[in-house]
């Protein structure tokens, strides 16, 4: 602390002023250290990596290959009859959004057009554009099982 006493004499400051300067210097260095540590952290996860992906088995092959084919332009699914699990196979549709689709069609009415999917909370124009080639709309009673 002898250096603090010498600094006080050279700057003509009181002991309290010297301690205040020392406190501010320590806080400044602490702030720099915190900023450096924040820059060293792993960046946050990208939002598009949170989209549900089809489950895979231990061999790495998609489990959908043993059952019905995954939804695509060649094999679209009917949003009026598809189960929540089948809807989750669509890109950008997770468990919560698939439940909202099922709830909407059961509480409101079956979908008449694919564009009506926009009425479901969480489906915007980009998601609809992605889903449009992979889904179809047919009345539930006209689907032959």
> What mean pLDDT value characterizes the chain?
78
Average of pLDDT values for 89-104? 87
> Can you spell out the DSSP letters for 81-95?
T--HHHHHTSTT--H
Q: Tally DSSP H helices, then E strands, for the chain.
A: 5, 2
Q: pLDDT tens for residues 28-87?
A: 999 999 988 887 776 665 555 555 666 665 555 544 445 566 776 677 888 888 888 888
Ranges of each domain in the chain: 2-40, 50-55+66-142
Percent with pLDDT over 90 in the chain: 8
Report residue 143's pLDDT band, with 50, 70 and 90 as the boundaries. Answer: very low
Contact 70, 54 (CB under 8 A): yes
Percent with pLDDT over 70 in the chain: 74
- Which homologous superfamily does the CATH classification assign to the domain defined by 50-55+66-142? Photosystem II 12 kDa extrinsic protein (1.10.150.320)
pLDDT at 1 over 80: no
pLDDT the model gives residue 145: 44
pLDDT at 129 over 80: yes
């Amino acid at each position: 602390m002898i250096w603090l006493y010498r600094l006080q004499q050279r700057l003509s400051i009181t002991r309290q002023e010297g301690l205040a300067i020392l406190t501010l210097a320590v806080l400044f260095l602490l702030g720099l250290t915190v900023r450096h540590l924040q820059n060293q952290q792993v960046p946050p996860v990208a939002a598009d990596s949170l989209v549900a992906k089809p489950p895979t088995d231990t061999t790495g092959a998609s489990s959908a290959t043993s059952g019905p084919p995954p939804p695509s332009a060649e094999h679209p699914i009917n949003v009026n009859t598809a189960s929540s699990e089948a809807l989750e196979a669509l890109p950008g549709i997770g468990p919560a959004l698939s439940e909202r689709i099922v709830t909407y069609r059961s509480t409101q009415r079956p979908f008449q057009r694919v564009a009506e999917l926009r009425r479901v909370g969480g489906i915007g124009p980009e998601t609809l554009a992605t889903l449009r080639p992979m889904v179809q709309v047919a009345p539930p009673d006209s689907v032959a099982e």
